[in-house]
A and B are shown apart, each in its own frame.
Chain A
């Protein structure tokens, strides 16, 4: 159990670190942080429950006033802003990614990981994200979806990267994939 908690804290730190390393850009010029890649990885590597706890730990620490979000943002203000749905959605996204990963044991790691990261980190994440934007900016869901659309290709790319990383991690450290243990 102690090891579980350590892994949860470690992936929470990884999510934070990926948001703060400015040099990690997937498409140069477009301000896409690798932070959601960290959320996808938490679910894919740790599994549903632990992955959601890692994402939840980051959300909790942001609320406590720590600058853990991309570009050093954080604090309670984030929860009043238009991106609140994406932040809270991380918990559901990591959980969903882990859930899919746990239930696709028959698929190869890459396919299962990319699929899990896509379903969790894109499909599940954008639902609360778009609802949050629609509420805070008082626009219809369709308009809010339009605002979020430019970020989807980057996130699909990140899901593929998450699958590749899961494969490589699985090869390099046997037993690293706690979602399949």
Chain B
């Protein structure tokens, strides 16, 4: 399973994850406090410069990560174009773009292990309330291992469906066999875990 960390090395990869997350939180709060559309250009330009500082190829990757936002930007454009309230539209669009872009930048330049280490540090005080970081880490590992397996099986079930059914695209019908094989997996994994002495806390 691939993470969203960029393989293109950037100076930001070397900044500690905790520091990046703290900066991101501060920046997001600051961006939400910006009152005027003209000032909103500032974080947008800053985000663009940060991406460009890492090279064109990295910036293009960053742009691709922003693609899911376009329907919402279109929505804002239509709404504020209709109400002739362009200033507010720019303010909101800029806010959306800059906060998401900066957050993506942290994700793209931080390795999964570093993120998990920060999470473990944040969760440690919750031990008192019965939260067991070891079990959470085990569950994360299991999901990472199982997702591609289930995905692959889903694709195979889809192919089997296409080979036999008249309709070309498989629908919800393949979800049942997918769930059934998943339930059987659970039995095997439970046995394997028991044989290895259980899940650590």
Q: Which residues of A contact B (CB under 8 A)?
A: 2-3, 5-14, 16-18, 20-21, 23-26, 28, 34, 37, 41, 45, 57-58, 60-61, 64-68, 71, 73-82, 136-139, 143, 147, 161, 165, 168-169, 172-173, 176
Tell me if B19 is interfacial: C-beta within 8 Å of chain A. no
Which residues from 174 to 191 on chain B have a C-beta closer than 8 Å to any C-beta of chain A?
Answer: 174-176, 178-180, 182-183, 185-186, 189-190
Shortest CB–CB separation between residue B145 and chain A, in angstroms? 8
> Which partner residue on chain B sits nearest A157 by CB separation?
B172
Shortest CB–CB separation between residue A180 and chain B, in angstroms? 15
**Are the CB atoms of B178 and A75 closer together than 8 Å?**
no
Q: Given known contacts A9-B146, A37-B175, A169-B179, is B4 in contact with A67 (CB within 8 Å)?
A: yes
Q: How far is the CA of A37 from the CA of B96 in the complex (A)?
A: 28
How many interface residues does B have (CB within 8 Å)? 69
Q: Which residues of B contact A (CB under 8 A)?
A: 1-5, 21, 24, 28, 65-66, 68-69, 72, 75-76, 79, 88, 92, 96, 99-104, 106-108, 110, 112, 115-116, 119, 135-136, 138-140, 142-144, 146-147, 149-151, 154-155, 158, 169-172, 174-176, 178-180, 182-183, 185-186, 189-190, 193-194, 198-199
**Are the CB atoms of A65 and B4 closer together than 8 Å?**
yes
Q: Which residues of B contact A23 (CB under 8 A)?
A: 155, 158, 169-170
**Are the CB atoms of A77 and B101 closer together than 8 Å?**
yes
Shortest CB–CB separation between residue A120 and chain B, in angstroms? 17
**Are the CB atoms of A76 and B103 closer together than 8 Å?**
yes
**Are the CB atoms of A77 and B103 closer together than 8 Å?**
yes
Q: Which residues of B contact A12 (CB under 8 A)?
A: 139, 143
Most central of A16, A23, A73, A138 by chain B CB within 10 Å? A23
Q: Which residues of B contact A81 (CB under 8 A)?
A: 68-69, 72, 96, 100
Shortest CB–CB separation between residue B159 and chain A, in angstroms? 9
**Are the CB atoms of A16 and B186 closer together than 8 Å?**
no
**Are the CB atoms of B193 and A17 closer together than 8 Å?**
no
Main secondary structure of the interface of A (DSSP, over half): helix
> Which partner residue on chain A sits nearest B76 by CB separation?
A137
Q: How far is the CA of A82 from the CA of B174 in the complex (A)?
A: 31
Q: How far is the CA of A114 from the CA of B100 in the complex (A)?
A: 35
**Are the CB atoms of A2 and B190 closer together than 8 Å?**
yes
**Are the CB atoms of B146 and A26 closer together than 8 Å?**
no
Shortest CB–CB separation between residue A106 and chain B, in angstroms? 24
Q: Which residues of A contact B198 (CB under 8 A)?
A: 2
Q: How far is the CA of A137 from the CA of B194 in the complex (A)?
A: 49
Q: How far is the CA of A168 from the CA of B143 in the complex (A)?
A: 24
Q: Given known contacts A26-B172, A66-B112, A80-B100, is B154 in contact with A9 (CB within 8 Å)?
A: no
- Selected from A14, A58, A76, A169, the residue in CB contact (under 8 A) with B150 is A14
- Selected from A16, A64, A77, the residue in CB contact (under 8 A) with B104 is A77
**Are the CB atoms of A64 and B28 closer together than 8 Å?**
no
Which 10 pairs show the lowest CB-CB distances between chains A and B?
Answer: A75-B107, A13-B146, A9-B142, A17-B150, A80-B99, A77-B104, A76-B103, A77-B103, A65-B107, A77-B100
Shortest CB–CB separation between residue A110 and chain B, in angstroms? 13
**Are the CB atoms of A8 and B139 closer together than 8 Å?**
yes
**Are the CB atoms of B96 and A34 closer together than 8 Å?**
no
